[in-house]
Amino acid sequence: MATPTPIGFPLTTRRGILLLILLGAAFLYPLWTTGDIAYSRDSDIIAEHAGIKALEREAVATEGRIPLWNPSMNAGTPEFANPQSMYLFPFDLLFLVLPLGVATNLVILLNFLLAGVAAFLFARRHLSHPASALVCAAAYMLSHRYLAMIYAGWLPKMSMFALTPLLFWACDRVLDRPAPRTVAVLALVGALALLQGDMQQLYYAALACAAWTVLRLCLSRAPRPGSALPGLVLSGLLALLLAAPALLPRLEFAALSTRTEFSLDFLLQNAPTPADLRTFVDPHSRDFADHVRDLFWENNFYFGLALVPLWLMAFLGNRKRAALLLLGIAVAILLSFDTGIVRWLYGHFPGFRLFRQPSRILLLAQFGAVLLAGLGADALLAPGATSRRAGGFAAASLAVAGAAWLFPIPWDGRLLALTCAAIAAVGFAGLFLRRAPLALAGLLVALPVADAALRCAPFIATAPLDTAVPGRPFDILLDRRHNDGRVLAMGTPDIPAYGRAVILYGTAGRLGIEMINGAASLELRHFVEYLSIMVDGSVAGLPHHPLAWTDCDRITRPDLLRALDARYVVGSPDSDLRGVGATKIWESPRMPLFVFYSGILPLPVALWRVDHPLGPAFFATAVHPVGGDDESLRLLSGSASARDASVFGAGPELANLDFSGGTASFAERGIDRYRYRVESAGRNFLILSQVWYPGWRATLDGAPARLYRTDHALIGCAVPPGSHELVLRMTCPPLRTGLLLALPGAIAVLLMLSWRRRAAV
């Protein structure tokens, strides 16, 4: 229930929201004062998301719809079903009407403003003083953990961070009053959470929200604490219906991805160690060898040093609530480490094994930390607060500042000294301002803002996109408008990821290059297995764990490379591709390239042209029916040629083929649609260099043609003698089903929202 504004204090809910919007816009001014794009050498925006959004813009401009398929990575991969694309999230509309850099920056800004408003709304329901809620909101919106996401370029994760307090707020309102309007609002917030792209943080937030619900129901003094349960269940069902157009395609993709093979090592990848706890004092602390921590936005326990004195004050105001919040923070911190508890959860708790790096649960610890600080601000700003409390706050501030200053870690002395000085100054000022609550409230709000300015201002940098990722002389040659085929970025046995430096896979969509490599949260398992056999020549090296990158450091089966319509290979000049049948056509000893996690570096680069490409489609010399993946992999690894096709579910029409051959070429090459000219000398089986996926549909001379999964990862179809036009297009039946499910959900939510003329406050 919303708490009243203290008499004489002029901060209403609307004014608080307006202040947060102005504060966020002012702090993040570089995002809306330039036409550049948020940039860092470690940015996923540069490495991946800009390419996804550029592909969306191209598809809408050329084909009139958002892309279902991404031809620029992994020889083709689902795009709408990729959670990272977030094409149905409302903020994504900006990418369709604004330049790429401007849209990216505004989406970041909107996420931050939403985070502040959401935290304010939730805190306002549980804190007595509106300024305490404002402290929470400012500390959450401008926390190191959140601002570091700009540097890391975590565009999808920003949305879930913002939605977490809004999810708690909407759930809280249903618990207080399970009316149709509150249930509908929770359904809308839940749908937004499902539409955003970070399923891991959503999973953690949903678990925390469930725990919060159970706690509130257990502690409720109402005669029927369970009366809200039907409303919570209904809102969850409505949220699932509303988000079904995005969820069902994602589930189809996930079921065919490498994520179905679980790995404890994958879960615990880059897990924090006790040494990382020193970031509690300084987020940029160096290690004991005086090296700057890599990936400082991960495994970081800096919740805001300026909040710690308020944590101590919280126990003076409401010891029980403070203890519960502290327990929640401790649980989130414990679950971020490699412990027996986490290993047990991996083996027994539903869904826990799907993700990696459990330290991302620290989102919840950050949320709890700002709420605990809000309780402390409440204790300090409460009407009639004694001088003893003001003295306690001053003592706590001086103690925290002194302890941080003396803490034995290698830290950035200047920034830490300024932070400690600000904490001590506010604590000392509290002694004189206890009878001036407005001035004291202003100082408490300014404290986390100052902390953010000192710790995080360098994160908010922008640069022109063309400057951030320098072009290469051969980019035009590799562009799909001039290159009929695909490009392989090749590493070396010593540096398998070398190809990522030459062409960062996620940027290919923006450059118009179709890559055989890829980088995504979901990778198609059958394509990864195909690529593994192409690299190793056997099933012995198949990865049985989730992947994020499809690197290639050697080619044992050149025929499988040609079957992917590879026309060019880029990589280190030291690579020897003569055995592959490729000719070096260009070389540079020092080319400035954007290297992920390193920035712009001069590297040696070479370009090869693949001799005798098979083209976008080619004819099989034999067909072998297969009944499952194991048999398909065995035949693929043992075949002498990619033309010796293994076919899933071979029908009667494949019984009388004469394999007389012919020619096939592109007549039209789009994103979701491809048209081929086919000249068949007889009854043939045509193999298309497109990665198999259930959504593909084809017509041959206008009539539906049956497609077969071929050579484990490609597609094929039978063609009769003569000249033909084959049209291949990507469809998404789960999307259509999702839209049908969303319609009754939307009608139900609209009816519930209009149930009363006025919404509950």
Q: What is the pLDDT of residues 608-619, one digit of tens each?
A: 999 988 999 999
CA distance 330 to 301: 11
pLDDT of res. 682: 93
Q: Among 136-145, 255-264, 270-279, 717-726, which is the least confidently predicted range? A: 270-279
Residue 29 DSSP code: G
Per-residue pLDDT reduced to its tens digit, 329-367: 999 999 999 999 999 999 999 999 888 888 899 999 999
Tokens representing residue 555 in the block: 């080619």
Write out pLDDT tens, residues 237-249: 999 999 999 999 9
pLDDT of residue 7: 45
For 587, residues 6+ apart whose C-beta sits below 8 A from its C-beta are 573, 604, 605, 606, 607
Please report which confidence band the pLDDT of residue 727 belongs to, taking 50, 70 and 90 as the band edges. Answer: very high
Express each pLDDT in 70-95 by its tens digit: 999 999 999 999 999 999 999 999 99
Among 118-132, 139-153, 277-291, 442-456, which stretch is predicted with the lowest mean pLDDT?
277-291
Residue 410 has a pLDDT of: 47
Give this prediction's pTM.
Answer: 0.92
Six-digit token string for 314: 């919280």
Helix (H) or strand (E) holding 249, with range, is helix 229-255
Q: Which pLDDT belongs to residue 10? A: 66
The amino acid sitting at 262 is F
Flag whether pLDDT at 288 surpasses 50: no
Whose tokens are 């999702």? That residue is 738
pLDDT of residue 466: 80
Nearest to 150 by CA among 271, 29, 1: 29
What are the pLDDT digits (tens) for 743-758?
999 999 999 998 765 4
User: pLDDT > 70: what percent of the chain?
Assistant: 92
pLDDT attached to residue 703: 96
CB of 672 within 8 A of CB of 69? yes
- Backbone φ and ψ for 566, nearest 5 degrees, come out as -75, 125
CB 258 within 8 A of CB 525: yes
Spatial separation of the C-alpha atoms in residues 466 and 543, rounded to whole Å: 36
Instruction: List the strands of the sheet with 722-730, edge to edge.
Output: 662-669, 673-680, 722-730, 696-700, 703-705
Could you state, in order of their start, the residue ranges of all structural domains in the chain? 270-291+304-461, 478-610, 617-730
For residue 693, pLDDT over 70 is answered with yes
Asked if pLDDT for residue 391 goes beyond 80, the answer is no
The pLDDT value recorded for residue 155 is 92
Q: Which pLDDT band holds residue 223 (cuts at 50, 70, 90)?
A: very low
User: Residues 569-584: what's their mean pLDDT?
Assistant: 90
- What is the pLDDT, as a whole number, of residue 285? 58
Q: Which pLDDT belongs to residue 392?
A: 77
How far is it, in rounded angstroms, from Cα 174 to Cα 185? Answer: 9
CB 120 within 8 A of CB 374: no
Query: What's the rounded Cα separation, in Å, for the pair 302 and 329?
Result: 12
In this predicted structure, what is the pLDDT of residue 289? Answer: 36
- Confidence band (pLDDT; 50, 70, 90) for 133? very high
Q: State percent of the chain over pLDDT 90.
A: 59
Tell me how far apart the alpha carbons of residues 277 and 271 are, in angstroms, rounded to a whole number. Answer: 12
Confidence of residue 379 (pLDDT cuts 50, 70, 90): confident
pLDDT band at 761 (very low <50, low <70, confident <90, very high): very low
Comparing 17 with 653, the larger pLDDT belongs to 17
698 or 417, higher pLDDT: 698
- Are 371 and 326 in contact by the 8 Å Cβ rule? The answer is no
| pLDDT value, residue 363 | 92
> To the nearest whole number, what is the mean pLDDT of the chain?
88
Which ranges constitute the DSSP H helices of 464-571?
465-468, 475-478, 498-502, 508-511, 525-536, 558-563
* Higher pLDDT, residue 131 or 699: 699
Residue 547 CA to residue 288 CA, distance in Å, equals 32
Look at the domain 617-730 and name its fold: Maltose phosphorylase, domain 3 (2.60.420)
Residue 418 or 520, more confident = 520
